[in-house]
Amino acid sequence: MKIIVLNGSPKGDVSITMQYVHFIQKKFPQHELKILNISQRIKTIERDDNAFREIIDAVRSATCVLWAFPLYYLLVPSNYKRFIELIWARGVEDAFKDKYAASLSTSIHFYDHIAHNYINAISDDLEMKFAGVFSAAMYDLLEEKERKRLSLFAEHLFDTIEYNVPTSRNFRPLIHSSFEYVPGDVQTKIGVGSQKVVVLTDSKDEGTNLGRMLRQFTGTFSGEVEVIDLNEVDIKGGCLGCIQCGYDNSCQYGDKDGYIEFFNTKVKSANILVLAGSTKDRYLSSQWKLFFDRSFFNTHIPVMADKQLGFIISGPLSQNPNLRQALEGFFEVQQAGIVDFVTDECGDSAEIDALLLSLAERLIRYANDGYAKPASFLGVGGKKVFRDFIYGRLRFPFLADHNFYKKNGLYDFPQKDYKSRITNSMMMLLSRIPSMRKKIYTERIKTELIKPLQKVLERE
Ligand SMILES: Cc1cc2nc3c(=O)[nH]c(=O)nc-3n(C[C@H](O)[C@H](O)[C@H](O)COP(=O)(O)O)c2cc1C
C-alpha cells in the first residue's frame, strides 16, 4: 500500500512529527510511506510548477494521504496552509478525490482539536475518505503504551483502506453568499480619544465586501485609526520552528525582515486591535496564518493582554465554528478582551453598518472603562496547559517564558494556597466521622459554599 505523507514541519526531516512517521514505517515495512516535505519547501513549491506537479502526481499514485504536521497556533503551519490553498488555486482537487486521508500531529495538545477539525474539513471538502486522527504529545513515543497506541492507529488505518471501510463526512460543504455589501452614509462618529486603534487586514480592496466594511468601519471614527495591510509588511517567510526565541525572545529572522519591528511598534503598542479578513477554505488566508506564526518569537508570553479585540470577517463564519474558536481561544489565552465579530453574513447592508458602528462604539467604551469579559474555558484551560508545559519538561529551552511566568505570578498552582490546604485537611479529617459527614453533606454544604460570597455582598 502506498501512503503519501505530506510533512507539515518547516524543520523537514529534523522534525518531531516525522519520528512518529518513521516509527510507523519501521513497524509496517510492507507498506510504503513516502514523505514529502511541504512546509520546508513551500517557496519552491509555489514558484516551480514541476515541484508542485511532482507532489500532486505522488498523491494521484497513492491510496492514502497522511497529513502529518506540528500544531502551529491552533492550526497547521502557515506554509502548509498555503499548500492547501494552492490545491484549489491550481485546480488539482481531483487528485485527492476519493482517496483515504488521515491526520497525525505532534503538539502540547494546546487546541490540537482545532487543527484536526480543520484537516478533517479540508479532506471532506476535497471529497476524500477521512479515516481518523492521531494527536500525539511531543514525547509520547517514549512511552510503551503510546507506541502501542500509534501501532494500532496505523494498523486500523491500513485495514480501513484495504477493506474499503466507509467513513463519515463530518463537515458539510460551506455555502458562500453572493451578497454585495453597499455601505451607507456614516451618521455618527466615535471619538478615538487617547486610544491607539490599529486595524490589521489582508486586503484593502474596495472591490470586496471586506474592503468596503473596512472603509465603513474606519470612517466611523473621528481621530487616528491606522490600517495595516499584512501584505505590505516585509515578511520573508514562515516561522522556522527553530525555538531560538525560547532563550530571550529574539527571532532567528532578527532584522532580516520587517516583522519583528512591525509587531513591536504597531501591534504591541495598540490598545485596540481589529483583525479583518475574508475566510479562505476553512480558515482565514495563509497570510493571516503567517502573521500568527511569526508572532511565536513572543513564545508563551501573553503580549496581547488587556487589548480590546474586534473582528471584521467576510465569509460564512457562522458555518465554521472551528475558525471562530481558533480566534477566540488564541486571544482568550492572551488575556485580551474580545468585543465582537462582525461579518457580512446577514446579507443586509444597513444592518452591517449598524453592527460596525456598534463594534466601534464598544471597542472605545470597553477600552476607556478597562472592561474585558471573563475568559471562558478556552482561556482558562489554555492558560493551564501553557503553565504546566513551561513549568515542566520544556522549561528549557523556554527560559524567557519561565522567567516571565515566575515574575508575573503565572505559576498559580494551588499548592501555595495554604489557607485552602489547611481547611481541606481539617474537613477531610472531619468527614471521616460518619455523623459529621452526614451533617456536612446534607445540612451545611450549600450554605458554606455561598458564605464567602455573602461576606462580599455585605461589604458592598
Ligand atoms: C510557531 C509554533 C507554534 C506552535 N503552536 C502550538 C499550538 O498551537 N499548540 C500546540 O499544542 N503546540 C504548538 N507548538 C508546538 C509544536 O506543535 C510541537 O513542538 C511539535 O511537536 C513540533 O513538531 P515538529 O518538530 O515536527 O515541527 C508550536 C510550536 C511553534 C514553533
Neighbours of 189 (CB within 10 A): 13
Q: How far, rounded to the nearest angstrom, does the alpha carbon of residue 323 sit from its chain's CA centroid? A: 8
Residue 10 has pLDDT above 90, yes or no: yes
Amino acid sitting at position 40: Q
Q: Are the C-beta atoms of 294 and 286 separated by less than 8 Å? A: no
Beta-ladder partners of 191: 222
- Classify domain 2-162 at the CATH superfamily level: Flavodoxin domain (3.40.50.360)
Q: Is the CB of 70 under 6 A from ligand 1?
A: yes
User: Residue 72 is placed in which grid cell?
Assistant: 502551529
Amino acid sitting at position 129: K
**Cα separations (Å) of 252 from 259, 264, 303?**
12, 16, 19
Please state the pTM of the whole predicted model: 0.97
β pairing state of 100-107 and 64-70 = parallel
Digit-coded pLDDT (tens) for 252-274: 999 999 999 999 999 999 999 99
Alpha-carbon torsion 403, 407, 413, 418, what sign? Answer: positive
pLDDT of residue 161: 98
Q: Do the domains 197-377 and 2-162 match in fold?
A: yes
Domain residue limits, the chain: 2-162, 197-377, 416-459
Q: Is the CB of 15 under 6 A from ligand 1?
A: yes
pLDDT of residue 416: 75
Average pLDDT over residues 210-223: 97
pLDDT band per the 50, 70, 90 thresholds, residue 35: very high
Q: Is the CB of 37 under 6 A from ligand 1?
A: no
Q: Is the CB of 112 under 6 A from ligand 1?
A: yes
Closest residue by Cα to atom 15, ligand 1, is: 107
pLDDT band per the 50, 70, 90 thresholds, residue 162: very high
Q: What CATH number is given for 197-377 in this structure? A: 3.40.50.360
User: Residue 251 is placed in which grid cell?
Assistant: 527571532
User: Residue 307 is placed in which grid cell?
Assistant: 487589548
Digit-coded pLDDT (tens) for 192-212: 999 999 999 999 999 999 999
Long-range contacts made by residues 50-54, C-beta under 8 angstroms, separation at least 24?
Answer: 52/86, 52/90
Average pLDDT over residues 82-99: 98
**Distance, CA of 168 to CA of 129 (rounded, Å):** 8
Q: Is the CB of 8 under 6 A from ligand 1?
A: no
Closest residue by Cα to atom 2, ligand 1, is: 72
Average pLDDT over residues 95-111: 98
Helix axes 399-407 and 377-391, enclosed angle (nearest 10): 120
**Distance, CA of 351 to CA of 343 (rounded, Å):** 10
